[in-house]
DNA sequence: CAGGCTAGTGACAGCGACTGACACTTCACA
DNA sequence: TGTGAAGTGTCAGTCGCTGTCACTAGCCTG
């Protein structure tokens, strides 16, 4: 249903490439485990590399900085959503297409995550991102980049020019704003299941019309 | 009309306090000038402190980190907006109140800025924030904090519980999403006047209803 | 107005994130 | 099988940021 792009590397070619993949995976897993167990700021890059037994320099050859490793799985999830959005029929209006794409991707992204790290670890990482100021800041910037990408995609679907017509950006901004609220509430609540975020998403998106009415009373 | 909160310190008490204020102002101005002229990443804290002739340690006693100095004026602007929102009559619906508060504050914030740094310097700083990844990330996190504050304010106006009713957060999220788009476009365009951002704001906010319709065609 | 109090500062040492340079090992491929 | 290059370790160095401590200069009280 959803075309996963560069996820699930089907056993890379040479020995060298496989070794490389293993090192990266080991660094990623070790980093996330340390992050969620003792906190992001409290974890040094040296600790991560000692756990995997490579030099600090090697870490920075795989990840441009300490933050990036925390977002490796998130990248997967975002690619999943974009793919789901592209797959929505052209007949659907912008808001409906985005809504359905989100709900679609929640249905299938679990497996994609599990190929890299345990789903449970991803969810705890997400909560960590939401609660660590330095990571939250980066998360929001990444979301803004995704937002721009989605706006272009929506404009394309509707045959509009993003630069000329404000509606694609406005719609996507409003939509993403709501999505961020649900993400934050999910990370805060106790129920960290994928079903929970799905339900929350539906509930909040259903309110977007009413919330923008002139009068709530 | 708008009650400025802690801006415009009317000549502080003792000599000590005045000296302190002067040091802070000097650091702020020197930092912003260096940032806009040679870039944020390219400016070291040592350069800033050398320009003012204080020790590096002193810089970090006034600003918790290098980022904070870039947002000092932005803080002023945000306080201005919140004050303007509080001043809107209770009869106005949420969206209208936010819209009017933004437009109100654009009318008066210029003077408040000029008391600290030249308005021109502030505008160039804003453009720098938008175009420097590290600063943009912090900017977005700060905006999210402001958003939460505004959501609580709106809920209060409407006599609702933010935690129970999704509409305040949804409305504010959608509204702020649109505001961020205008801010980004303003920072990108050539016309960096306050009138320009005012016009852009009006134009984009007017489209929020249509953008959320089911069908644009 | 002398003398103690303390806020503000400078000097210094140290940590952690990150980078550039270079040498070395090990796989790949002719 | 030998040669090139990819991947890694080591080392030295920069920059943001922090703790500590001594010192100076406004301030306040007797």
Residue A6 has pLDDT above 90, yes or no: no
B189 at A interface, C-beta within 8 A: no
Confidence check: pLDDT of A88 > 80: yes
pLDDT(A3) > 50: no
Two structure tokens written together for A85: 């959005």
CA A180 to chain centre: 11
Tokens linked to B145: 């904090």
Rounded CA separation B178/A174 (Å): 7
Instruction: Show me where the domains of chain A are located.
Output: 15-66, 71-211
Distance CA A46, CA A83 (A): 36
Q: Which residues of B touch A212 (CB under 8 A)?
A: 95, 171, 174, 208-209, 212
Q: Which of B160, B177, B210 sits opposite A176 (nearest CB)?
A: B177
Strand D-proximal residues of B, range 2-21, CB below 7 A, are: 13-17, 19
Q: Which residue in A213, A189, A211, A210 sits closest to A200, CA to CA?
A: A189
Stretch B188-196: mean pLDDT, rounded?
83
pLDDT digit string, tens, across residues A57-86: 999 999 999 999 999 999 999 999 999 999
| Topology given in CATH for the domain delimited by B71-211 | Tetracycline Repressor; domain 2 (1.10.357)
How many angstroms separate the CA atoms of A79 and A148, rounded? 14
Query: pLDDT (tens digit, 9 = 90+) per residue, B50-108?
Result: 999 999 999 999 999 999 999 999 999 999 999 999 999 999 999 899 999 999 998 89
Q: Can you tell me which residue has its alpha carbon closest to the C1' of nucleotide D8?
A: A58
CATH topology of domain B15-66: Arc Repressor Mutant, subunit A (1.10.10)
Q: Which residue has the tokens 């929505």?
A: A88
Q: Do B15-66 and B71-211 have matching folds? A: no
What average pLDDT does this structure show over A100-126?
Answer: 91
B215: left (phi over 0), alpha (psi -120 to 50) or beta: beta
Contacts of B128 (CB under 8 A, 6+ apart): B35, B36, B39, B40, B70, B135
Q: What is the CA radius of gyration of chain A?
A: 19
Q: Which residue has the tokens 């205008």?
A: B182
Among candidates A96, A166, A214 on the partner chain, residue whose Cβ is nearest the Cβ of B93: A214
Tell me what pLDDT residue A217 has: 67
- Both structure tokens of A45: 């890059």
Instruction: Work out the mean pLDDT of chain B and round it to a whole number.
Output: 88
């Amino acid at each position: 249903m959803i075309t996963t792009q560069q996820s699930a590397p089907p056993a890379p070619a040479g020995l060298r490439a496989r070794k490389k993949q293993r090192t990266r995976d080991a660094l990623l897993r070790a980093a996330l485990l340390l992050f969620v167990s003792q906190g992001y700021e409290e974890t040094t890059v040296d600790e991560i590399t000692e756990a995997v037994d490579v030099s600090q320099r090697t870490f920075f050859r795989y990840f441009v900085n300490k933050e990036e490793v925390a977002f490796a799985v998130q990248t997967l999830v975002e690619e999943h959503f974009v793919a789901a959005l592209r797959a929505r029929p052209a007949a659907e209006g912008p808001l409906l297409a985005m809504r359905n794409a989100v709900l679609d991707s929640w249905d299938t992204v679990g497996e994609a995550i599990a190929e890299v790290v345990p789903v449970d670890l991803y969810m705890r990482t997400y909560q960590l991102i939401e609660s660590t100021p330095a990571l939250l800041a980066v998360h929001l910037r990444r979301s803004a980049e995704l937002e721009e990408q989605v706006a272009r995609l929506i404009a394309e679907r509707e045959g509009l020019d993003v630069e000329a017509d404000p509606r694609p950006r406005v719609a996507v901004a409003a939509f993403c704003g709501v999505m961020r609220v649900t993400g934050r509430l999910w990370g805060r609540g106790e129920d960290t299941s994928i079903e929970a975020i799905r339900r929350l998403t539906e509930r909040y998106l259903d309110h977007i019309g009413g919330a923008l009415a002139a009068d709530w009373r």
